[in-house]
Each structure stands twice: as structure tokens, then as C-alpha cells.
Structure 1
């Protein structure tokens, strides 16, 4: 019976509550061992560390907000992917720099992290000065105290150290629970979130934190998670662009021939769209094998060009290679396309830049060319939902 009751109590223990208890107990024991002087110093630097972290986070956010647009503009002018076959290292490098250029969330995260690390390094240069100052204050205070009752002083010092240690532990526990609160708010479907939310210790702390941070974090979790997932998929998709920057001579010659009579970028883009729509057949067998058996055959643009068949991603990649070979700025877009039955399924298409400015990108879907005019038609966004 006794053993069973102990097992039941252990099962009822909350991980969050256990961690908070250990933080408090550990800080209390440390305070007693170090005494008032050592605990006061540790408490000071705990507060100092918290202030430094908060200041660095705020300044990093301000710096990133100011510098991110400028960095995007600079990368746009500085990064030019060479029109040649890239090695594995070159593919990784250009995937990184073009992703930083084009994906604001990734660029913000990287710049924020770098800014924070730089500011923390600068703050570390000031810490020795603060250390000497606190050490001097504690020594001068200890010299002023009478030495009559050393034993009593030690006991009093340990008692005061225990109190300061407990305060230190409370601060540590607060930071721990606050981090859990941010994690649960931003990642509502994340690992172990349900167990954290069911903890009584966390629930009570979250009830106090919600009025402070709720307006900032409420509702941001799903939006933030979806944004991260979408940009992560786009970054993975960027690998196709890096691989496809090598333009085979036969594809380049075909693109030049197809666009020989085109006088404008829009005319070139439409000529390529019509050529692929007439000559590249949709590979229903490949699509069926993937949908029914989960078998996916990776296919590069030369294979699509030679076999004259492919699925949407294959056709979009071939279009992108041909468009780049005649000087067009083009990108592959992935998302969801209308299936004709009121639903949507995974799909890929292209966007081509016609003119200057952010509004100069026009959409086209060469895969659907046989089913109508899908070269920048009205209502394109109603049937194509891009990952964003």
C-alpha cells in the first residue's frame, strides 16, 4: 500500500511544477552555502543579466526593423545567380542568399539573431566593470561590520543568503514559466503543449501573464506557425531554382527559336507559355502513382523537355529554365490549384516579371494551357492559392 501510494504521488507530479520546485530549492541551497555576500552578488548579476537581455532584445528588434528593408534592397542588386551548372556548395550558398533576399521572415530572423549576439558581446565588455564595482561595495560593507560574534555572523549570513537565494530562484522560475508561455502562445500545436497547459503551476502563472502579453501574442500562434511553415516550404522549393540554373544548350536554343519574333518581355513570356502548353503533355501515370501509391519520380527540366511530358512542377520548372535563357526574370510558385470539383489540390505554376516594380509580376499556368487561356487572366487568384 505504501509503495502504491508513492507511485501514485509520483505519477501525479507535474513536470512544470517539479522544475519550478527544483529551481527554488537549488537557489535556496546555493544561497545558504554562499551566504549573504555571495548571494547578493549572484542576485545582482541575475537582475543585471535580465536587464541586459531585455535591452538587447529591444535594440535588436529596432535595428532589424530598420536594416532589413535596406538589406533586401542591397541583396537584390548584389546577388546574381550565374547561368551555369552549380556545385553542391554553390547551390547551398545561392539558396541561402536568395532566400535571405526574397523571404522577409527568414531575413528578419537571421538579422535579429546576429544583432542580438553582437549587442550581447558588447554588453559582455561592460560586465567586468560591474563585477569590480559590486565586489568593492561588498568588501567595504564587510569591513565596517564588527567581528565580535563570527559564528552569529555566519548564521545570519546564511539566513540572509537563503532569502536572497529564494528570491533568485523565484526570478529563475518566472523566466522559465514566461518562456513556456511564449512557446505555448506561438506554437499552440507544438510538442508537449497540451501537458504544459494542463499544469496547475503554469495555468496560474499564465493567468497573470496573459493581461501583460496577451494582446501581443493572442492569435499570433497559428498565423506565426503557418508563416514559418510556408516560408520553409518556399526555401526548400528554392533548391529547384538553384539546380535549374544550368541551362542546357538544346533548351536554350529552343527558347530562342520560340521567342525569335517576340519584341517585348510579355510577348516572350506568352510565346513560351503557348509552346509548352501545346508540346508538353500532362503525365497522368506519374500523378496517379504518387496519389495512389506514394511513389514520386523526381524529374529535371531536360527530362521533361526530352520526354515531352510531366506534372505541374515539372512543366513549371521547364518554363522557368526556358524563360531565364531568353533574359526573363521568372519564378516557380507552389500552392493549391482548383480541381474542377469545388476543391483544391497541390499545384505549381509560374510568375514572370514584366516591367519594373513589385506589381510587375504576372502569373501564368502552362500546365492548364490546353484548358483555356491561363496567361495572366482575370481572377487567376480565385483558382490558384499560393503558399504565403
Structure 2
């Protein structure tokens, strides 16, 4: 087995411990001077072994513990050296700090068993109270570093777990922030599109008409509509920019549009769509009932607004009908129909963002929406473009379904 390269600090500790032990040995400072079975220099052998294995204390903690135990037993047959004992205590400590999880459980248990055996057995074996003192010393050499290593390892594990939890919390917070920013950007995109698209569509249609028709009166009327819608669109843009900047002024925020303004919206569309042969009608079947929640009211208005804008841009000549109905189950249904087909004359380009915005608004309210061409009534012009959105309406103390 190839041992890894020792750590620089461990090498320094092993060299210093060996030099310190040699210094004590040269001065004749032994821990067991009455042991004369072996010559005095024999005490340097366990010291050298423990000093060498000290260099691998972190990379091979269990191996150094086994070698250190054997060296300590051999040291008991010599005059002994204090640094040999100190190096062994460090070996026990390192085995519980850097060893595998099994070592954390087994080393302290084994150290405790040896300590208890020495505390009980040495006084009985020596028939002298001094044996009790020796048992306590053995406990200090074996059990104390083992318990210290367990405490240090537990503290490190707790610190690592706390750091991991902090990193996970930071990651979750960043994910929440990204989701919040994405949701806010989507909401801003929907509001910007819904507020400005109607005005810009009218500008595009009438400017195209003014360029394609060589009629001074038509051009004058188109320029009037263009100016009206450009001023209104600019005002909406300024209001939105003011809200985004959140300058902290005490100005009252502009009220969000509601279905109460649908009639005014349809009146504007009648003006814009007259040149294209479009007529607009409102069929309000809601009847009497409690007021709609603000999110539902705003979403319904925006769906009607976007549907009318799409009709101005794409619908064939004919009627554009808006139907508002509220079922007994408190669900609000918004239906907008228009003739489907390619109409002659000026048209404004579309990007499909409006349909995406409508679907997002309905999804946020856990509702349903369908948009696309369907077969119209038998006495009608054929296919029609249908937009039908069902928006659940919950009581104030009732949580909406996810």
C-alpha cells in the first residue's frame, strides 16, 4: 500500500517531537528509570517509530493508531520517554478526528474499557493504592484524547451541516428571486402589451390607410386618429414608466381598468374599425350580483381589450361581438367572436404575444381559455374566430385553487 504524501505540519511535528525526546534522553530524564532490562538507548526506538508515523497521522489515522499502540507497549519495557507518551495521545486523538465513522464509535469505547480495567485491575494486582493513580494516568493518556477527538469531530460535522443548510437556503432564496423576477417581468410585459397594443394597432391601420388611399379627407381623418392614439399611448407609457420607477412620490396611483370601461373601449373600436367594415356590439348578461374581485375584473378587461385589438388587425368585415356572462357557480365567462378570414385593405402585423398574454392571465387565475377558428352559426358568414375565457370567482375568504 502506497502512503500519500505527508502534510507539512505533520512532518514538522514529528521532527520536533523526536528532537525533544532525544533531548530528554540525553539529559537522563526518563519516565521509568528503574527499568534496566534493556539498555537506555532502546527507549529511542519507540520514539523514532512514533515520530515517523506522526507524519501520516491525517492520511492513515487507523494505521498510525495500531503502530503507535505497539510502540507504546514496547516503550514500557524501556526506561521510557515522555515524548513517546505524548505522541501516542495525539495518535488516539487523530484516529477519532480523521478516521472513518466506525473509528469514532469504537476507539472511545475501547479506550474506556482499557481505562476501567486499569483503574480496577492495577490496585488489585499491585496491592498498592498507587495502582489507582496509574489507572487514572492511563485514562488521561487513552480516554481523554479519544473523547476530545469525538467532541471536535462532532463540532466539525455540525459546522459542515450548518454551512450546507446555509448554502441550500441561499440557493433556494436565489431560485425564489429568479422566479419572482421572471413572474414580474411577465406581468410587466402583459401590462405593457395590453396598454399600448390597442393604440399602436389603430395607428398602424390608419397610417396604412392614409398611405394607400389617395383621398385628402381620408388622410386628414386618419391623421386625427393617429394623433389621438399616439397621445393616449404616450400617456399610458408615461404612467407605466412612473410606476416602474417607484419614485416615492405621494401621487395617487392610477386606477386599474375594469369591465365598467368596456363600453368606452368598444366605442373607440367602432371609430377605429369603421374604415375596415367592422361593427362592434356588447352583450352583458351578468345581471345583478356581488362585485368581481380586482384580479378577475382586470383580467377580463384585458382579455376583451386584446381580443378587440386582434379583431381590428385581422378580422374580416362583419360584427365583433363581446358577451359577458356570470354563471351560478360564480364563474365569469368572456366570449368575443369575429368573422374569420383574410380581409382586403390595410392590416396591422401581429406577433402572437397577445394570445400568450391572455393565456398567462387565465392560468394565473386557474381558469380556462380557448382561442381559434370554429364553425359559426348556420345563418352566419361561415367560420368565426372565437375567444372564450372562463375565470373562476372566489369569495374573499376562499382560497383560489392552484
What TM-score, normalized to structure 2?
0.23
- Look at both structures and tell me which one has the larger radius of gyration over its CA atoms: 2
Q: Which has the higher helix share?
A: 1
Q: TM-score, normalised by structure 1?
A: 0.24
